[in-house]
Amino acid sequence: MTISRRQFTAGTLAAGAATALGTLPSGSAFAQGSKPTIAFFVKNVTNPFWKACRIGAEKAAKELGINMEVVAPTKPDNIEEQTRLVEDWIVKKPDAFVFVPVDYKALVPSVQKANKAGIPIINYNNKMTDIEKVTFIGSDDALFEYEICKYLFNSMGGKGKVVHIDGVPAAITAQMRKKGFERAVKEFPGIEVLASQPGQYRRLPASQVFENLMQRFPEIDAVVSANDDMAVGIVEALYAAGRGGKTKVVGIDGIPDAIQAIAEGKMFATVDFSGHDQSYLAVQAAVRHLKGEKVPAEILLPVFIIDKSNVGKVAKTPEERAVPSWDKVAGKA
């Protein structure tokens, strides 16, 4: 199911973010006749979403013939470790950062150091402010959550008992998705929110949180999960408790495990957040900037809901997934 409000949006150009087409920046690797090196950051190596991001980025790097180093904290979503990694890579002086912050506020000072060092920043997935960046590539998280909630609530006839499982509270994606959830709830007075608790964007913590909630609430009509990894853990907890198939579960991301759960009728729906596409486009943007091409200041992915009716058309692993067309997505900047 595709929401009509499709949002491949190319924003106005950021001042100084790109140079005239065909004019190579004097300090770029391309101007010096060598391969550029890009530091590609992810939040962790445990969530399948970040694996999809890595795969999309690697496809772009291979296609463009560049060097790319994947940079990830060993502890999932660890602010202190990512801060150290940023500062380590500033010393290594790569040609660009393709960057997602563990915490969009806490990482600002470190990214500002990269700005001062003259390293171009391509910000993807979690939008940052108070930094200089070439572009942001991601989605309207509040809109994604709002649309999947509306779809869910309408399927329930506009009434029922709902649990919300939040992500990492410090993450801007979690904050915006919660706003989308709250907006949808206000529009459906028949929806009763039983609880809203964080699941840290990870399967096991979310499953444990939900197991406790099932003990408190013998009747739960639906669960809104801020991402698919948690949603799959919630589905597993429901079936382990003998309550499988009695509660509708929705998420966001479109990871393979969620797509399989939807195909099997265990999970109701998800939104294709496509880390694969975001990271592919982000690496493309980095290389185009280094070549002196103009890059849109913002590219937002569309709302695309995956449910039982269309899951067969999108049931692909990140390795199998086709890459997006830059020209179709970003247009002619």
233 and 279 part of one domain: no
Is 76 part of any domain? yes
Is 333 part of any domain? no
Is 309 part of any domain? no
CB 194 within 8 A of CB 163: yes
Which three-class secondary structure state does DSSP give residue 297?
A: coil
- Rounded distance between C-alpha atoms, residue 184 and residue 192, angstroms: 12
Q: Which of 43-47, 93-97, 189-193 has the lowest mean pLDDT?
A: 43-47
Give the pLDDT of residue 11. 35
**Percent of the chain at pLDDT above 90?**
82
Q: Which of 15-24, 144-153, 285-294 has the lowest mean pLDDT?
A: 15-24
Q: Please report where in the chains the tokens 């109701």 appear, as a residue.
A: 268
Return the axis-axis angle of helices 228-240 and 256-263, rounded to nearest 10°: 40
Q: How confident is the model at residue 215 (pLDDT cuts 50, 70, 90)?
A: very high
Mean pLDDT of 59-71: 97
Mean pLDDT of 8-22: 35
- Rounded distance between C-alpha atoms, residue 182 and residue 171, angstroms: 17
Mean pLDDT of 32-52: 91
- Identify which has the larger pLDDT, 50 or 28: 50
**Long-range Cβ pairs for the range 57-64 (8 Å, 24+):** 57/98, 57/279, 57/280, 57/282, 57/283, 59/280, 59/323, 60/279, 60/280, 60/281, 60/282, 60/283, 60/284, 60/287, 60/323, 61/283, 63/323, 64/283, 64/284, 64/287
Q: Please report where in the chains the tokens 């399967």 appear, as a residue.
A: 203
Is 328 part of any domain? no
Q: Is the pLDDT of residue 16 over 60?
A: no
- Rounded distance between C-alpha atoms, residue 129 and residue 91, angstroms: 23
156 and 248 part of one domain: yes
Q: Is the pLDDT of residue 19 over 50?
A: no
Mean pLDDT of 307-313: 93
Give the pLDDT of residue 17. 38
Q: Is the pLDDT of residue 315 over 90?
A: no
pLDDT in tens, 168-210: 998 889 999 999 999 999 999 999 999 999 999 999 999 999 9
Q: Please report where in the chains the tokens 């493309």 appear, as a residue.
A: 284
Q: Is the pLDDT of residue 333 over 50?
A: no
Mean pLDDT of 66-77: 96
Q: How confident is the model at residue 29 (pLDDT cuts 50, 70, 90)?
A: low
- List CB contacts of 232: < 8 A, sequence separation 6 or more: 203, 251, 255, 257, 258, 261, 267
How far, CA to CA in Å, does 40 sit from each of 6, 48, 57, 85, 332? 27, 16, 8, 11, 25
Q: Is the pLDDT of residue 13 over 70?
A: no
66 and 52 part of one domain: yes
Is 10 part of any domain? no
Is 111 part of any domain? yes
Is 75 part of any domain? yes
Mean pLDDT of 21-29: 49
CB 90 within 8 A of CB 78: no
82 and 151 part of one domain: no
Mean pLDDT of 10-27: 39
Give Dmax over CA atoms of the chain in angstroms. Answer: 66
Q: Is the pLDDT of residue 30 over 80?
A: no
171 and 67 part of one domain: no
- Rounded distance between C-alpha atoms, residue 239 and residue 224, angstroms: 17
212 and 146 part of one domain: yes
Is 267 part of any domain? yes
CB 315 within 8 A of CB 11: no
- Mean residue pLDDT across the chain: 90
Give the pLDDT of residue 307. 97
Q: Is the pLDDT of residue 21 over 50?
A: no
pLDDT in tens, 217-242: 999 999 999 999 999 999 999 999 99
Total structural domains within the chain: 2
pLDDT in tens, 128-158: 999 999 999 999 999 999 999 999 999 999 9
54 and 115 part of one domain: yes
pLDDT in tens, 239-278: 999 999 999 999 999 999 999 999 999 999 999 989 999 9
258 and 147 part of one domain: yes
148 and 260 part of one domain: yes
- Structural domain harbouring 110: 18-138+274-296
145 and 260 part of one domain: yes
- The CATH number assigned to the domain holding 88 equals 3.40.50.2300
- List CB contacts of 260: < 8 A, sequence separation 6 or more: 315
27 and 94 part of one domain: yes
Cβ neighbourhood burial of 307 (10 Å; 0-12, 13-18, 19+): middle
